[in-house]
Amino acid sequence: MGMGLFGGSAGRTCGYSFDAPPVMGVNKDDSGMGRIAKSSLQKFDPDPANFTVERVEEVNGNLIVFAKYPNCPTFNGFKLLLIKGLEYNKYRLDPHLLGNGHPVIARFEPNPKGYELAKLCAEAL
């Protein structure tokens, strides 16, 4: 059994501290309920053509992909994706769950706990 995506990193990987609070595009309205600020979605939505793949791991015929989208402030741009099958477009990867044959079938918090959940899901497929 080899090291996982976060193995030996002591809570840090790719310069991202998992202890740091994420920057979210969520505001509170008068009711105290959270709502996503429309302007933050438009301004900081991950650009599917502007990303780097930091690490990839094959698990049970699926891929766990740790990618960074530099224009997205949520989790400092890091995304942990579960991709069905062994192929994805290396030039354009939308991290959203779009359905209709889109390869991304799940997304997890980019931290060691998220990785463990991604691995469990990939093993169950």
Sign, CA dihedral 93-95-96-100, equals positive
Strands (E), the chain: 12-13, 16-17, 26-28, 34-36, 52-59, 62-68, 78-83, 104-108
User: What percent of the chain has a predicted confidence (pLDDT) above 90?
Assistant: 54
Looking at the predicted structure, is the pLDDT value of residue 65 above 70?
yes
| Range in 15-29, 41-55, 106-120 with the lowest mean pLDDT | 15-29
Average pLDDT over every residue of 62-91: 94
Query: CA nearest 92: which of 73, 74, 67, 72?
Result: 67
> What's the rounded Cα separation, in Å, for the pair 49 and 52?
9
pTM of the model: 0.67
Structure tokens at 35: 């709502």
Looking at the predicted structure, is the pLDDT value of residue 61 above 60?
yes
Looking at the predicted structure, is the pLDDT value of residue 62 above 70?
yes
Contact at 8 Å (CB) between 107 and 80?
yes
Contact at 8 Å (CB) between 57 and 4?
yes
Average pLDDT over every residue of 57-68: 96
